[in-house]
A and B are shown apart, each in its own frame.
Chain A
Amino acid sequence: MNDMRIVERDVDQNDVKIAAKGVQVYYGDTHAIKDVDVDIEDKTVTAFIGPSGCGKSTFLRCINRMNDTIDVCRVMGDIHIDGEDIYDSKVDPVQLRAKVGMVFQKPNPFPKSIYDNVAYGPRIHGLAKNKAELDDLVEKSLRRGAIWDEVKDRLDAPGTGLSGGQQQRLCIARAVATEPEVLLMDEPCSALDPIATAQVEELIDELRQSYSVVIVTHSMQQAARVSQKTAFFHLGNLVEYGETGQIFTNPVDPRTESYITGRIG
């Protein structure tokens, strides 16, 4: 870990996109997230690291209210996106999820054609007025997902027939097709081989130009490679949050140091 190359980073201060304050999450009686405060910046890749079960995925799923689908899950505290409370009773989670896209751990393309996979989001949100516009949007999204060249000749082929890495990039293309402002990624590379991982990471770096990207990862190397900001979670607490370079080279909290040097976790 010590010999890891930490690249020079663009550490300009960006606007705050997501502001979380005093977030508590309970699964039934289990207190999964304890009083988390975090400000996530726009046009930045923020990595959540930490051992399994520390609550990083749970916190990620709070940001687009995917936890609403779990009956026993209760979320307290405030999460604001662009200054709006997303847990306000007037907020429709469906509109929120159009604004906050998500990519899951396991590639989960719809069992439809590649084209329909990407076109589904724009269709239900009415983002394209006609077929030609939709075609353009699908192509643009697939290019953004860095998969256009591989699939442009077989857009009618089923999305489930692609390889694992291609499926994950298809899922990323699907997520960006609805033109979200925030992209949440829950261990997007854990099912991929190193080559596919490298492709997805490159993609994440490009996506930073237009989105605020939040990525949960088990790989500290990956966090170091792709992110500008890193948050370390441990047992439901946000232990440390700061510049990625600083977290990996000069952590403040002893628990962070233990984790990144491999003593706990």
Chain B
Amino acid sequence: MTDAAMTPESARPTKSLTHEDARTKKRNASERRFRAYGIAAICTGLFFLLALLAAILSAGLPAFRQAVVEVPFTMTQEQFDEAEEAMLKTAIYTDYFITSLSDTMQAEGVQIEFDEDAVDRLLGKVGGDLRAYYRENQDQIGEQIGFELAASSRVDRYLKGTFTRDDLQSGNRFFMPEDFDLIDAMQEAGLIKQVFNWNFITGVDTGVDNPGGAGIGASVLGSFFMMLVVLALSLPIGVAASIYLEEFAPKNRFTDFIEVNIANLAAVPSIVFGILGLAVFIQFAHLPQSAPLVGGLVLTLMTLPTIIISTRASLKAVPPSIRDAALGVGASKMQSVFHHVLPLAAPGILTGTIIGLAQALGETAPLLLIGMVGFVARYPDTFVEGFLEPNSAVPAQIYNWAARSDAVFTEKAWGGIIVLLLFLITMNTIAVILRRRFERRW
């Protein structure tokens, strides 16, 4: 710097406005850089999101499809009578089916030899199914019907390409090498088709011998009952606590202490709530183990801080002029809160609640500790049993499936994740819609 540069005359910029000086250039460059970083960050986020979605969908969607074998079948009255008089009734029915199946394939120009064990392995106990159907529907005797039989999970996987001839280990009594030929033959004859697997939505968990039959229905119900408990407890308690703390409580050390601890509670790891639930609700209060009631109580503890914090934030966001206006016309404190402040804060409270519920819905760790991860193969019979009988929950069921060795269960786990995500997306959409609708009123 020369002395001349210090004088006001030369310090004043005299350059043209259309020309960028060095400082401006530097400033603009840094702004452009910052924008580029931002866009890069968003793109990275989007990329991971898409990769995640693609992985989930490609691995999980097959769980919603199922291969069925459709065989046209006619039962005559004589055949029915004969089978019913025989000693091994279902064996006769199986024979009828095998005849019908090979006839159908022959008609399509496919020649293959197979025995009833192969049918057993691929399609389950066909004879029993047939007999049960015709004993129920005797008017169908003599008519031709298209019989749909669910193929076993290995057939499914063979058709999807995740199970090949090379994967088959010798000595597997669930599957023989010649079964591949039978599947190929049935496919060639056009008997195999893919249908939506309703059983996955409505079914219950199964053992390792029938991975294809496992469904997520019972655990969805378990999650539903837990959410009922969480909603019924955490919404009123959370909102009442926030209103008191925000509007009525004196500001002193004690309320400050409570406030700090609510914030701390929101950051406590969920497994801690799980062990607390185990100690307090099950070991001390002797509530039934593995029950959605206990799961709901534990998740309520977890959801409360979320609801309290979001409720207080939305109460704080209501302009004080509204409170003044209400007090100014002679409303009591409580009237001003319930008539004016609370309705204005409702959208925020609602959103916080639904987000809290969604968080609770996806929570797994505490459920492991209170035993909601067991094998549950039945629906509760009554509404009350839904709360008290052992059940699982969707995320716990997913965890359970993912831990099993059979690849079919892994597929089910991915499918379960899709179901869980659908629930979460639905809840968030409801939150957004309710918020919009409430806000439009004001």
Using a CB–CB cutoff of 8 Å, the interface residues on chain A facing chain B are 64, 66, 69, 71, 94-95, 97-98, 101-104, 106, 108-111, 120-121, 124-125, 158, 160, 171, 174-175, 177-178
Among B314-344, those with CB < 8 Å from A are 319, 321-332, 335, 339-340, 344
Q: Could you say which of A102, A125, A160 contacts B328, with CB atoms under 8 Å apart?
A: A102
List 23 A–B pairs whose Cβ atoms lie within 8 Å, in order of A's numbering: A94-B332, A97-B327, A97-B328, A97-B329, A98-B329, A101-B328, A104-B321, A104-B325, A104-B328, A106-B321, A108-B319, A108-B325, A110-B340, A111-B442, A120-B326, A120-B329, A121-B329, A124-B329, A124-B331, A124-B335, A158-B442, A174-B325, A174-B329
Q: Which residue of B lies closest to A96 (CB)?
A: B330
B330 with A125: CB separation less than 8 A: yes
Q: Which of A97, A98, A103, A110 contacts B322 (CB 8 A)?
A: A110
Within 8 A of A (CB), among B292-320: 319
- Report the minimum CB–CB distance from A103 to chain B (whole Å): 8
Given contacts A71-B251, A108-B321, A177-B329, 6 further A-B pairs with CB under 8 A are A69-B324, A97-B328, A102-B324, A111-B441, A175-B329, A178-B329
**Interchain CB contact under 8 A, A160 and B442:** yes
In the complex, which residues of chain A have a beta carbon less than 8 angstroms from the beta carbon of B322?
108, 110-111
Could you say which of A69, A98, A109 contacts B325, with CB atoms under 8 Å apart? Answer: A109
Q: Which of B250, B326, B330 contacts A98 (CB 8 A)?
A: B330
Chain A residues positioned under 8 Å from B328 (CB to CB): 64, 66, 97, 101-104, 175
CA distance A63 to B39 in the complex (A): 57
Q: Across the interface, which residues of A come within 8 angstroms of B442, CB to CB? A: 111, 158, 160
The distance in angstroms between the C-alpha atoms of A125 and B321, with both chains bound, is 21
Q: A103 to chain B: which residues have CB within 8 Å?
A: 328
For A108, give the chain B residue with the smallest CB separation: B321
3 A-B pairs closest in CB distance: A98-B330, A108-B321, A121-B329
The reply to whether A71 and B327 form a contact with Cβ atoms under 8 Å apart is no
**Shortest distance from the beta carbon of A216 to any chain B beta carbon, whole Å:** 14
Evaluate contact between B330 and A95: CB separation under 8 angstroms: yes
The complex places the Cα of A103 from the Cα of B326 at a distance, in Å, of 11
Within the complex, what minimum Cβ distance (angstroms) separates B342 from chain A? Answer: 13
B324 touches A104 (CB 8 A): yes
Which residue of chain B has the shortest Cβ distance to A65 in the bound complex? B327
Collect the chain B residues with CB atoms within 8 Å of residue A98's CB. Answer: 329-330
Q: For window 7-40 of chain B, which residues contact chain A by CB distance below 8 Å?
A: none
Residues of B within 8 A of A158 (CB): 442
Residues 243 to 265 of chain B near chain A (Cβ within 8 Å): 250-251
**A94 cross-chain contacts in B, Cβ below 8 A:** 330-332
CA distance A166 to B359 in the complex (A): 46
Contacts of A178 in B (CB 8 A): 329-330
B439 to chain A, nearest CB (A): 10
Q: A109-B325, A110-B322, A111-B344 are in contact. Are A97 and B330 (CB under 8 A)?
A: yes
User: CB distance A101 to B327 under 8 Å?
Assistant: no
Whether A110 touches B330, Cβ cut-off 8 Å, given contacts A71-B251, A120-B339, A158-B442, is: no
Give A102 to B328 CA distance when docked, in angstroms. Answer: 5
Complex partner residue of B330 from A71, A106, A124, CB under 8 angstroms:
A124
Kindly report which residue of chain B lies nearest to residue A95, judged by CB atoms: B330
Give the CA-CA distance A103 to B369 in the complex, in Å: 59
**Looking across the interface, which residue of chain A has its beta carbon closest to that of B332?**
A94
Q: How far is the CB of B442 from chain A (nearest CB, A)?
A: 4
Distance to closest chain B CB from A159 (angstroms): 10
What residues of chain A lie closer than 8 Å to B321, measured between beta carbons?
104, 106, 108
B250 contact from A64, A71, A120, A177, Cβ within 8 A: A71
- Chain A residues with Cβ below 8 Å from B319 are 108
A64 to B329, CA, bound (A): 10
Say how far A230's CB is from chain B's closest CB, in angstroms: 24
Q: From A71, which residue of chain B is reached at the shortest CB distance?
A: B251
Minimal Cβ-Cβ distance residue in A for B340: A110
- In the bound assembly, the distance between CA atoms of A97 and B325 in angstroms comes to 11
| B322, B323, B324 interface centre (most CB from chain A within 10 Å) | B324
Partner of B327, one of A66, A95, A175: A66
CA distance A69 to B332 in the complex (A): 11
What residues of B have a CB within 8 angstroms of the CB of A160 in the complex?
442
B375 CB to closest chain A CB (Å) equals 54
Chain B residues positioned under 8 Å from A104 (CB to CB): 321, 324-325, 328
Q: Considering the chains assembled together, what is the distance between the CA atoms of A95 and B326 in angstroms? A: 13
Query: What are the residues of chain A within 8 A of B331 when measuring CB–CB?
Result: 94, 120-121, 124
Report the separation of the CA atoms of residues A174 and B330 in the bound assembly, to the nearest whole angstrom: 11
Q: How far is the CA of A184 from the CA of B322 in the complex (A)?
A: 17
Least CB distance from B263 to A in Å reads: 22
How far, in Å, is B419 (CB) from chain A's closest CB?
A: 40
User: How far is B322's CA from A109's CA once the two chains are assembled, in angstroms?
Assistant: 8
Determine if A121 and B325 form an interchain contact, defined as CB atoms under 8 angstroms apart. no
Q: Tell me which residues across on chain B come within 8 A of A102, comparing CB atoms.
A: 324, 328
A111 to B, closest residue via Cβ: B442
In the complex, the answer to whether A110 meets B325 with C-beta atoms within 8 Å is yes
Q: How far is the CB of A256 from chain B (nearest CB, A)?
A: 30
What residues of B have a CB within 8 angstroms of the CB of A124 in the complex? Answer: 329-331, 335, 339
CB neighbours (8 Å) of B339 from chain A are 120, 124
Q: How many Å lie between the Cα of A111 and that of B330 in the bound state?
A: 18
Q: With a CB–CB cut-off of 8 A, which chain A residues contact B330?
A: 94-95, 97-98, 121, 124-125, 178
Q: Give complex CA distance A97, B333 in Å.
A: 12
